[in-house]
A and B are shown apart, each in its own frame.
Chain A
């Protein structure tokens, strides 16, 4: 549809492209757009007999009109897509740049307008900031123990769902339910499940003869607990993405693999997985970004306290940033942490970009 419009572009000579507005044109001649040029030619010939003054006036009007049409075609698409860019500028780009500006200053939360130039000190101090490194470590470990099992489980589940199943729609919807739950609700329920004295998980472990575990207090236990919220919430989402991608794999491949005597497992390994590579990469990128920005789950797991436990054992980068800005009221340092997170994400993004190029060149080689 969009390409059709270019066909109706004004012709080289002025005065065309506006067939409908020339009232003198008989209705029969108001042909479809792609014969516009011809029609315009016809009309000019028809009025050749008119006196030169009115003709010049008419031509000027036509020229103006055709210019407007040209502008319309040239510029109105920009107007149509501008809402996104305006909103992005207001709520994406501006905050990003302003945060960058603030990160170079000493700014108190109480006086956000009084900025004192600080150079890159807010950034350099992070190098010696044990709490920043702790948060980075926590973010990394929680990211790994939440992303890896999550994607592995999603892959397995998608494979199962890809079989002919009774009530497959039910399973697919069920997969997506956790994703539709709010982070707050899920985190609070999990915080209760992982309770030390009255939590359901410790109650269940009690039957196995395991003493009550203080999930929140321990270093690894708290990370596992936070990861479990992430895994619970996102596995279904990734499953559906994998499933969609699996269903796009042509059946012939499986047929020929079966003819070659490949078992189910071999089919999965040698047909499904290679075909899923771009999707895998996509989910890994999205999950990594999510893991780097992890915020709501660890915060609500700790009753809304951004400290991340008595030893900060599950304080992620996002929480440390919040703690610095909102608890310690130091917006400049908070902004520097935010920008560092942004740079880390860009760095990770570049790695994945390189990886994806490598993967796609590999896939091409294999298929050729």
Chain B
């Protein structure tokens, strides 16, 4: 057997040897080429057309609302391509890496509000300063401009949407529990956080089976803390969460809700929370920003159409929203800035609202008739345009720090949740949160 193999195997001829060598060289070269650059296009484009790439997360809305097409029609020399990452968590991780290496960046990159402070604090130089260009920022709400301005006064991003808050509630449950259902009357019922919790106690008496007053103590915490100007970080950039009045007050209210059995003991934005919403396990959402309406509609589904409504919050605040910026690494600053400016201009923001429900950060867009007169059929034709413009006017301009998100999530997803789920003593939970934060934020 061995012998047959041996004799049939001929030594390689010179040509086949050369061929083999060439083949392996080609393969190796191809492999190396595949590893190295695929970012050599950038300028790309067919003929005179210039390609601008826009990097976003989730369903950002620009493309869905047809804004790119509109811009390309106005500017035939520009071609827009979008890179979208589903989860902001994945998106921001990649964006950080790209920014630190100054490579792989698009001409425009979206930034979620939870990450904007990190950009203004840690990576301001990676972004183009919009103040150096002739960009009109007067139409934005002032706090939106402040949040994207770094310590040296450079404006590194332009605002897209914001999330002014109200309180969402289930009218059918309110009716069953003998509470008013009309938004006006409910708004009066919610004149302060104390009265909101008092209404919860009243609700509990006659609540339908298995329905709690609100979803989570964390939601209560966020709703209260966001109404304050100074939350986790003060204007000087120091972390003040240990002693800030906002955190202390929010903590007390949230603990009261957790211990008063007013919550469903679920963590927000997890599957159990989604399931609870789908199954109608809670009656209110203490902080219900504009974008939440779409979230509720898609999670709760058709069955709950018309059952929800929204009432004024005792302390309206901002939750969420995004920005777009132009990385320094882009080869087309002028064109990218022009596009960013156009995308965030009042007309486009208004369109983004009517098409996608993202509430404009531009004060001018908020007053546009199509925004102001908007209603929401899912929420019983609530006049949400009017409602959110009133809420937006009361949003405090809060300084935000790069660690705000970590701090907030430690309080909501750890400390408060452990009071709800494990019956941890609030004082212990508070100490645990502080030591956890001390560890997390240490250099």
Contact = CB atoms under 8 A, between A and B. Distances in A.
Interface of A: 1, 4, 20, 32-33, 106, 108-113, 125, 129-131, 188, 191-192, 195-198, 214, 216-218, 302-305, 307, 310-312, 323-324, 326-330, 333
B279 A197 contact: yes
B271 A303 contact: yes
Interface in B385-443: 406, 409, 413-415, 417-418, 420-422, 424, 432, 435-436, 439-443
Contacts of B435: 130
B96 A110 contact: yes
Given A111-B100, A303-B269, 9 more contacts: A110-B99, A130-B439, A131-B439, A195-B271, A304-B89, A305-B267, A310-B415, A328-B441, A330-B443
Interface string B85-116: 00001000100110111000000000000000
B421 A4 contact: no
Interface size class of B (residues with CB under 8 A): 35 or more
A106 B100 CA distance: 16
B292 interface: no
Nearest to A332: B443
Contacts of B97: 112
Contacts of A113: 100-101
A328 B118 contact: no
Nearest to B97: A112
B15 interface: no
A303 B413 CA distance: 12
Contacts of B422: 217-218, 310-311
Nearest to B437: A328
A187 B174 CA distance: 37
B414 A312 contact: yes
A328 B406 contact: yes
Nearest to A19: B11
Contacts of A217: 265, 417, 421-422
B6 interface: yes
- Counting from the closest, the 9 A-B pairs by CB-CB distance are A217-B421, A310-B417, A310-B418, A303-B270, A110-B122, A328-B440, A311-B418, A198-B275, A112-B100
A195 B275 contact: yes
B243 interface: no
B66 interface: no
B440 A198 contact: no
Contacts of A131: 436, 439
A217 B417 CA distance: 9
Given A195-B272, A310-B422, A129 B439 contact: yes
A327 B413 contact: no
A307 B414 contact: yes
B8 to A, nearest CB: 11
B279 to A, nearest CB: 7
A204 to B, nearest CB: 17
B5 interface: yes
Contacts of A310: 267, 413-415, 417-418, 420-422
Given A129-B439, A198-B279, A110 B414 contact: no
Contacts of A214: 265, 421
B7 interface: yes
Contact of A191 (B122, B271, B414, B436): B271
B183 to A, nearest CB: 29
Nearest to A191: B271
A181 B122 CA distance: 41
A20 B11 CA distance: 9
Nearest to A132: B439
B441 A307 contact: no
A217 B11 CA distance: 69
A184 to B, nearest CB: 13
14 contacts: A110-B99, A111-B122, A129-B439, A195-B275, A198-B275, A214-B265, A310-B267, A310-B413, A310-B417, A312-B414, A326-B93, A328-B406, A329-B96, A333-B442
Q: Which of A188, A216, A312 has the most CB of B within 10 A?
A: A216
B7 A32 contact: yes
A33 B7 CA distance: 9
A152 B20 CA distance: 51
Nearest to B405: A327
Contacts of B6: 4, 32-33
A311 B118 contact: no
A97 B35 CA distance: 21
Given A217-B421, A303-B270, A310-B417, A197 B122 contact: no
B177 interface: no
B281 interface: yes
Contacts of A303: 267, 269-271
A169 B5 CA distance: 35
Nearest to A106: B443
B297 interface: no
Interface string B274-303: 011001010000000000000000000000
Most buried by A among B97, B279, B414, B439: B439
B291 to A, nearest CB: 19
A216 B265 CA distance: 11
B276 A197 contact: yes
B123 A110 contact: yes
A198 B210 CA distance: 12
A197 B101 CA distance: 46
Contacts of A111: 100, 122-123
